[in-house]
Structure 1
Amino acid sequence: MTRHLSVLLAAGAMLATAGMASAQTTGDWVLGNYKGSGYWFAGVIEKVQGDTITVRYDDNERETTNLSKVRPYDWMIGTKVECNFKGAGEWYKGTITSLAGEKVTIAYDDGDKETTKTGRCRTK
């Protein structure tokens, strides 16, 4: 029984790790916790060196950080985001209604809609 339990625990650990797999390749889209802000911003890995990566965010900011500070890009239609409406500096909650590369359409919670770039959006 102990051996079966060990095998089950090992299999569970492998599945958990696979579900949390991080992007590791130059060119991969990721969501990065820019400067530890607690928000996830879209970007592309520019350089990988061990556990250190450089991300070029979609707003053209760059950050060199630990691989643990990024996660795979998972935005899709229906994802809840906050976006900088018309670049005015205020963040508003909304939902992605269409997505094509860096072009994204947001239906804001207050009824407004906007097509913008992923570089103006973030998630919690």
Structure 2
Amino acid sequence: MRIKMISVLTVALMAAGSLHATAQTKGDWVLGNYQGAGYWFPGVVEKLGGGKVTVRYDDGERETLDISDVRAYDWMIGMKVECNYKGKGDWYPGKIASLAGEKIGIAYDDGDKETTKTGRCRSN
């Protein structure tokens, strides 16, 4: 019962926009709005202060962002994402089929499946 209540509260806070980057600390896995392009990429907080957060993305890139451009990592099985299929450079839509750390299974909308790394995926 307690877990269900916490889950309901978490969903309500997320819907209200209350779970934002202000709760992040060094070492947390987050999603960053890479170069302000509107796509959210997974990474780890390396440094924060003065309203800025430095994120080391799962693909190795680093970026210092305004705290408003970082949010809690919220990827879960069934969620829609886009991934760089086999590292070929193009982004394809699909759903997360499995998650294990930085290893992610994708069921693409066209029927293909792939196990890849989170650093090759993004969300809107």
| TM-score in same-fold range (> 0.5) | yes
Distance, in Å, in 1 between the alignment partners of 2:76 and 2:57 is: 18
Specify the alignment match of 2:97 in structure 1.
97
1:46 to 2:13 alignment:
no
CA shift for structure 1 position 48: 1.0
TM-score by length of structure 1 reads 0.84
Aligned-pair Cα RMSD in Å: 1.2
Q: What are the within-5 Å matches in structure 2 for residues 23-62 of structure 1?
A: 23-62=23-62
- In structure 2, what is the equivalent of residue 5 of structure 1? none
After the TM superposition, which parts of structure 1 deviate over 6 Å for at least 4 consecutive aligned residues?
Answer: none
Q: TM-score, normalised by structure 2?
A: 0.84
Amino acid paired to 2:29: W
2:77 maps to what in 1? 77
Deviations 1:82-123 (A, max 9, x none): 000000001000000000110000000000000000000001
Deviations 1:64-89 (A, max 9, x none): 11111011000010110000000000
For structure 2, the 5+ residue unaligned runs are: 1-12
Question: Partner of 1:64 in structure 2?
Answer: 64
Structure 1 stretches lacking a partner, 5+ long: 1-14
Q: 1:20 is matched by which residue type in structure 2? A: L
Corresponding pairs, count: 109
